Amino acid sequence: MTWTRAEAEEWLREDRLREGQQWYLVAMEWWIATFTDPQSAAELDGDVPMEEASEVTTQESTESSRMGPVRNEALVDLEFSSKARKSVVLKPLLAEQRDYLVVSERVWNRLSHEFGFDWEIAREVIMMPESNKCIVKIYPVAFQLLYWRNGMQEPQEVVEGEANQPVVLVMSETESLNAVQHVIQQSLLQRLNEFFPDVKPEDVAKALQVAYRRTEQLPWVALQEALHIERNDTTKQIMVESTVVRDLDLEERAYRSGKERFHSLLIEGRFQSPEGTTDWRHDRFFSDILANMWRTELKKGQLIDALDTDKKWYESRVLDISEGKVFVHYRGWTDKWNEWIDLFSNRLAPRFSNVPNWRDFQVNDQVQVGRTQEGRAFPEWRNAFVREVEGNFEEGTLRIKVVWDGKEEWRDAQDELLCRPGTHKVTNASVSRPLGTAYSSNTPSYNRYSDRRDYSMDYGRGKPQFTGVVGLQNLGNTCFMNSMLQCLINAKPLKEYFLTNTAEGAPLFEKDVNEDNPLGMKGMIAREFAKLIKRMWGGEYTVVSPTTLKAVIGQYAPQFAGYQQQDSQEVMNFILDGLHEDLNRVRKKPYTTPVERNGRSDIEFAQEAWAQYLLRNDSVIVENFMGQLRSHVTCSNPDCANESDTFDPFMSLSVPIPADESVSVKVQLFWASGKIPTKYAVRVSKDATIGDVKEKLSALASIPASHLFFVEVRLHKIKKAHSDRSLIENIADDILHVYELEFPVSEYEMGSSNLRFIQPKPLAAQDATSNGKSMRLVALLHQAPVASPVDTRSEDYDFMDDANSGPKQRRVEVELSNTPLLVSVGTSVSKAEIHKSVWQAVRRLVSDETSFDCGEEAALPYRLHITQQNGSSALQRDVPYADEPADLPETSSQDYCFTLEWSRQGYQRGYDEKSAKRIELHESMRQLKITQPENVTLLNCLSKFTEREQLGKTDTWYCPKCKDHVRAFKKFDLFTLPRVLIFQLKRFRYAQSSFYMHRDKISTLVTFPIELLDLSEYVVGPKPDGGLIYDLFAVSEHSGGLGGGHYTAVAKNPDLGKWFSFNDSFTKEANPEDAITSRAYVLFYLRRE
């Protein structure tokens, strides 16, 4: 029996989306090839209204079985899909009507009965809560399964089959958490002995649990605790049964590639400690141990979040730790509120987990300022705002100028007498911050402590210095959108189009608005973009808030709905595509079939393909932003060598940056013997870890890798230690600091927490401090006196006085200098032995021409103190050279370091400044200078883009001649170029490690012309009469790392011809050359007419 158009028409007309139904995907390529009759296919396409399609003469299609089964494989990511488990993962960024059609269950049943199929792709119909409309959820949530059992240090992937394919579960967002756990448990029981050999089937419910995490940065949370319900088993089960996947509030990931698009579900067992119940970790789940490790590492003075007895969270400081309790001080409140809280109480939490990081101040932030009152136990509080900021929050140097009641004052950002707005009763009225002047790089300008915005419709109103040079308010990590909007706002064709009115005074663009286009947004994005561009060019605002435009974008693209950092190029594509469809002048799109070459020339073939594209697409975007690419594909099968050409429209060119896959890492090695440090250049891959660098350096320096210790140095102090797993790409230092140790790193107890790895192994043996180790590793800081004396103000600084000065005399102020060193000492060490170890480390800094030496009768050029790890407060002052025990602090309760204070005489006579600055260069550094890479240009990137390349294993091409999926050879050529030419420099790429997929950023400087970019030799199609000369007019920039990066823009004002830089609300004049930096990400060029 054959499939007829008439039957399909009737069924498609009758079927409607209903919540809970299953609808199915059918590959568009197969559909078009099967239903070859153009009129019949047009009715099934979905672009033509069914009532119009019914007028077409009914006729049966040709024998339907001639094409064989429904071929959906082109839609499926085969690496992660399983027919046996009916888990189908789609390739990212598939588009309806371009890549697939969605059909009802009975249409699919008929198709599968008539033709058969290779992959069945079922998707659920869900109700959108915000619109109460039914949609087919094409990309449901996908979970990758991981597992952890006792004895493992980290979770591992659950894999199956001979190819060790990762197990991925595709779950509807309306699936209950109870059902999710049931699916996992049923799958687990079949392989229980493989993953959890010590767990009996009847004990699974008690011995194992499933955990998830909303983002990779957040901790694991048991599914049972998803809604933070009380620990009542009956209540918990009821809540879990009524909780669905949607309630987990997972971030949108469907648009990503590889494993990056998956969330994780962890099947975890309980940790069984050899020490039994004396170890707090015993019989706890892995996620619970990870979530509570921070508690066991708390130190005096550390900042945390604490919940007071009124159920309010405050930033707090740890004052003491004793017998499983923590004594906390609520910052901004008097000491009478200090209290003891159980160490494992839910009233304690890591810093910034419940209290926002409000002390990372931006200009115009509101704050409460306290002033002490004579004779009163509590301060007086005033509302104020921040006028200026200087320094850096991360480095602890941030200072702010606060203004209240006409007064202003500089305060340290960590001042105890600063509080969040609304904390205390104030004695003055609220302070109004000036509108239109705020600058915020990554925090919303509305009230950051509630969901209620505090700006009015007049936000940013004022006359700008230059018309069109207007800032954009950061709504909360929306710098990526602001950067791209500034580029588009300064695109001359868009400016002219949206600001032109008809003779009657109506906006010209309104006649093009297509509210009925099923691929558009009912004209919403066009109208909101028009409003924005009019406000920015109207001369009435200095800053504009793109709130409504963002809301429209988020409504149709969920990945942009929240306030997470996104890619500016991705939002650009969405905006331009949305503008095109909202302004598409084609009201009734005809059905079109693929154009074939049929022996014709490139020009004839390309012109027909373009003419066919224009039958369905006609807008201001097509006129100005769309070009045409020629794609040439050759079958890789030598017995076939079939060739195929297609001509496709493009809106931007994503060009690769020619880059070496390896990098040279500069490493400065400090020797255990104290000799002059040596600088090395180590060549490793871009996705290398510290462990990889360590192995290479070990070979170059002839030091066992186990004796090398890498750290990050900031402001003459050791900020943190690098673990072997730390990725080089995530380390901002230009030069890595590494120390040779006398013994393997594993044999040391660390004197301070900054020497312990950022990610300690929570399941190593209990007692992360001593564990029977006989050696300690202690940081050694240097303090050198400066020239001018200052008054002594506190006895706290007596230990810094010069050796020849009395306690009441003026002292010499000191500050940290030089690179910190590391000293190895025994855990039971004498003060004399400490001095000997310190002298060995610093001997090279002392001039040979002096009499200074280390010994019982010798005179030292410095004084040695045991201080807190930042060197500021003394724990033991003036450690003498004596054989008495040193009594070093216990590292479990006190971080400490050695601080070397050079005496004034010792510094002037004995300090060898030349030796202190001397560094030996290894031969690898000399070779590095000889082999510096050549500059990369935009034309180099374009040449790389047009190179012939072979497709990857997961991106095969179906050859119609040999009827096989092959790794074909593909080549792109530019056939025609648009008026506005956009280049995306492919700075971000995905790199696969053995355990996960991570993104890598290429920071290579790419140079590009500001003017006179001639692309004539790169275009293989006909050239326009005016030539192909382009001038740069805008650049979207990205700085920083992948997670915490920031987007800015530079653009040329089309009216003034001047360049400006845009950083959210902040704008300033710029030079054209300012655009050429390693931050350049998306380049905008305009063709000369």
Contacts of 1081 (CB under 8 A, 6+ apart): 568, 569, 984, 985, 987, 1035, 1036, 1037, 1038, 1047
Q: How far is CA 934 from CA 625, 643, 662, 896, in A?
A: 32, 36, 15, 47
CA 366, CA 432: separation in Å to the nearest integer? 9
3-state DSSP call for residue 394?
coil
264: nearest Cα among 218, 296, 224: 218
3-state DSSP call for residue 678?
strand
Q: Is there a catalytic annotation at residue 716?
A: no
Q: How far is CA 419 from CA 380, 431, 442, 460, in A?
A: 12, 15, 21, 26
- Quickly list DSSP for 478-490: -HHHHHHHHHHHT
Identity of residue 837: S
Burial class (CB in 10 A: 0-12, 13-18, 19+), 679: middle
123: nearest Cα among 72, 88, 76, 160: 88
CA 913, CA 776: separation in Å to the nearest integer? 29
CA 759, CA 767: separation in Å to the nearest integer? 16
Cβ atoms within 10 Å, residue 87: 16
Identity of residue 645: D
Q: Is there a catalytic annotation at residue 479?
A: yes
Strands 471-472 and 543-544: parallel
The single-letter DSSP state of residue 753 is G
Burial class (CB in 10 A: 0-12, 13-18, 19+), 413: buried
Residue owning tokens 């090279």: 844
* Per annotation, catalytic residue among 479, 635, 941, 959: 479
277 phi and psi angles, rounded to 5 deg: -70, -10
* Per annotation, catalytic residue among 263, 424, 782, 1046: 1046
Contacts of 199 (CB under 8 A, 6+ apart): 192, 207, 208, 269
113 phi and psi angles, rounded to 5 deg: -70, -40
884 phi and psi angles, rounded to 5 deg: -75, 155
Spatial contact of 367 and 384, defined as CB atoms under 8 Å apart: yes
1029 phi and psi angles, rounded to 5 deg: -100, 125
Q: What tokens appear for 346 in the block? A: 């839910």
Strands 748-750 and 122-128: unpaired
Q: What tokens appear for 474 in the block? A: 């950061």
Residues annotated catalytic, as ranges:
479, 1046
